[in-house]
Amino acid sequence: MLDGETATDVSLVDELIRTQFPRWHGLPITELVHGGTSHALYRLGSDLAVRLPRREWARDDPAKEAVVVPLVAPCLPVAVPEPLALGEPALGYPYRWSVVRWVAGEMAPVEEVGADTPLRLASLIRALHEIDATDRPWTTYRGRLDARDNDDAVRSCIAQVGGDPRLVAIWDDALNAPRWDQPGRWLHADLHVGNLIFTGGELTGVIDWSSAGVGDPAGDLMTAWLYLDERGRKVFQREMGEYDDAAWARAKGWALHLAVLALPYYRETNLFLAGIASRTLDQLCPGWDD
């Protein structure tokens, strides 16, 4: 465990289910090893999962996802982890937690999925962006109107990963690009390999909606560098042709933001997340670490 993590185990989950949702008690419980750091995840029977925040910064995620996921799910062409119940702190566990519908499938790198994946990603994002966001507050994380409040942190992290001036130029271009001047749109804002679910090479699910919110659509366009390769990126950008050069500059900035903040933080503690960050930098700036 990393510093600040709350410990969980099968016996804790079993007692939480027994005392709060006895209708599911007795189903087999299996801890799932995954690359994320914010939540512990347990399979409950064959159709359910239990999701427990294990970091303070994730404490509000179950309640947030209980609102956001049912709102967006009917409009999307993929499966999402439908929230079924919201648990309360108990038995020494300090946070609210959730029981969600299990999303079948597997994670897969872009090299191992269907050639139509860029088209399916574009379809997913268009469907998400078309959901009415009238009167919804803008997200305060990725996709916010202006990223300048993270300027010092991003520049410091660029220096920590070698200081390639091309990375600085990408960040400068993002900050200097015209801001999004239309109503905010619904975003997932974390479309990387750890959150995309495939069945037989076909995109069939998207998990982890804890970063979702309303904001600049560039917060989803950044999947062009977070997940896709150069070939797929060209197809994806063509499909998302409604967005101008400024939107793509901001999207590159958000991808850079995620990658350079994550890589120094996770390089020694989480090889999965560090790998996502490193690969994203490769897509943004080939040879950045030479």
Amino acid at 44: L
pLDDT score for 137: 83
What would the pLDDT profile of 133-186 be if each residue is shown by its tens digit? 988 888 767 777 677 788 999 999 999 999 999 999 999 999 999 999 999 999
Q: What is the mean pLDDT of the chain?
A: 94
Query: Residue 36 pLDDT > 80, yes or no?
Result: no
The sign one gets for the Cα dihedral 134, 136, 137, 142 is negative
- Token match 């200097």: residue? 176
User: The tokens of 110 are what?
Assistant: 């872009």
Residue spans of the domains in the chain: they are 10-101, 110-284
Listed in sequence order, the DSSP H helices in the chain are 10-20, 61-72, 117-129, 151-160, 165-176, 218-221, 223-226, 230-239, 245-266, 271-284
CATH architecture of 10-101: 2-Layer Sandwich (3.30)
Reading phi first (left if > 0) and then psi (alpha if -120 to 50, else beta), residue 196 is in beta
Q: Out of 3.90.1200.10, 3.40.50.10420, 3.40.50.20, 2.40.40.20, which CATH number does the structure's domain 110-284 have? A: 3.90.1200.10
Read off the pLDDT of residues 74-86 as tens digits, 9 standing for 90 and up.
999 999 999 999 9
Q: Please tell me the predicted confidence (pLDDT) of residue 3.
A: 59
| pLDDT band at residue 228 under the 50/70/90 scheme | very high
